[in-house]
Structure 1
Amino acid sequence: MTTVSSSLIEREEPIHWYAMSVPYNRVLKVKKLLDEKQIECFVPMRYEVRTVRGRKVRLYVPAVSNLIFVHTTDSCLKLFKQTTSFLQYLVYKVDGVSQKIIVPDDQMEQFIRVCHTNDEHLIYLKPEEINLAKGTRVRILGGAFNGVEGIFVKVKGKRNRRVVVLIDHVSAIAISEVSPDLIEIIHF
């Protein structure tokens, strides 16, 4: 029987969702480059009415300025960044040290599901715009958002409370008003 040293066994690098910034409104350009390299990515998009040459036009545009999520390995992303200098990691500080923002798969899956509904009443927020400490963890039962988990909170400037799907340190989406009978409180 032949044994192989554990140092010789090739270890597969984990794939993560990285929250990235693309300044100068180049998000869609970077998305196209990533798509060409077959690197999975996600840009939250929404419909917006703008005036173009004196006419109102409905456009599909990035919902959050300069934000893209990339799903790949760290080494693959570093290699891609060598040719795309304006793609930057989003970071947060832990004990004074910058840490790359890595989004857990389940959080990203829920965020993408909500974004893909193209609900016109979705509100994209920065995490500091809501007080999550006062919220209750809930799950939506039924409708377009069936199974989505979030935090039931009051959103500033809105009359009713809404379910918010959060990506820590990056962004949040406030879902349009949800009927109370479709909300289940999650107990830990």
Structure 2
Amino acid sequence: MQALRRPYFWHAIYTKSRAEKRLYKELCSKNIECYLPLKKELRQWSDRTKWVEEPLIRSYLFVKVSEREYYNVINSAYAVRYVTFGGKAVPIPEHQIQALRIFLDDENRKVDLSHENLEKGELVEIMGGPFKGIKGEIMQIKGKNRIVIRFDSLGTCVYTDISLDMIKQVQPVA
């Protein structure tokens, strides 16, 4: 008899304050696939300046789990709860996690985070450079053209500067 294969979905976990890296380490040690988006920041202390890696989205960690691992994750000492709507954990599409990884893999590009309730713009695809093939929404923010990947389930948008000649308009999927 063939074993039943359970589907795996990405979900966002709300962590205890400043415990993102500890939860990531714990879940990795349990062989649970997880992703902690980090950004490098230059920090200034009174005696030195140092580059540090900080979570891009404070108090959030992404996990890819089946129903079986779902409760193992939340039983961690550093996890608070899943990000939910209507009492149910919201799955995050694989392509959004992959796009976030690609954005953050380019160390020469400054990536910011916005919690503004941004209006939907035109759907575009990047035609060249390290982001080639990434789709997102184009927006006008503080006078600069930026490409946006919207994470509706978190109420968050990731955006970065990009030239308009590097994008083409695409039709929304019906």
State the partner residue of 1:104.
Answer: 93
One-letter code of the match for 2:145?
A: R
Aligned match for 1:122, one of 102, 108, 111: 111
Give the stretch that moved more between structures: 18-27 or 72-81.
Answer: 72-81
Aligned residues: 171
Q: What fraction of aligned residue pairs are identical, expressed as a percent?
A: 20
**Deviation (angstroms), 1:79:** 2.0
Distance in structure 1 (CA, Å) of the matches to 2:104 and 2:111: 8
Aligned match for 1:29, one of 9, 13, 22: 22
**Deviation (angstroms), 1:10:** 4.2
Structure 1: 5+ residue stretches without partners: 1-7
Distance in structure 2 (CA, Å) of the matches to 1:168 and 1:35: 26
One-letter code of the match for 2:105?
A: H
3-state SS in 2 of match to 1:103: coil
Query: Where does 1:1-188 land on structure 2 (aligned, <5 Å)?
Result: 10-52=3-45, 54-84=47-77, 86-92=79-85, 97-126=86-115, 128-132=116-120, 135-155=121-141, 158-170=142-154, 171-176=156-161, 178-188=162-172
**Deviation (angstroms), 1:167:** 1.6
**Deviation (angstroms), 1:78:** 0.5
One-letter code of the match for 1:136?
A: E
Is 1:14–1:73's contact at 8 Å kept on the other side of the alignment? yes
Distance 1:58 1:108, change over 3 A: same
**Deviation (angstroms), 1:68:** 0.6
The list of structure 1 runs, each at least 4 consecutive aligned residues, that deviate by more than 6 angstroms after superposition, is: none
**Deviation (angstroms), 1:83:** 3.9
One-letter code of the match for 2:79?
A: F
**Deviation (angstroms), 1:51:** 2.5
Q: CA RMSD in A?
A: 1.9
**Deviation (angstroms), 1:154:** 1.4
Is 1:108–1:167's contact at 8 Å kept on the other side of the alignment? no
Distance in structure 1 (CA, Å) of the matches to 2:148 and 2:76: 36
Distance 1:42 1:119, change over 3 A: farther
3-state SS in 2 of match to 1:24: coil
3-state SS in 2 of match to 1:102: coil
Is 1:50–1:59's contact at 8 Å kept on the other side of the alignment? yes
Q: TM-score, normalised by structure 1?
A: 0.82
3-state SS in 2 of match to 1:161: strand
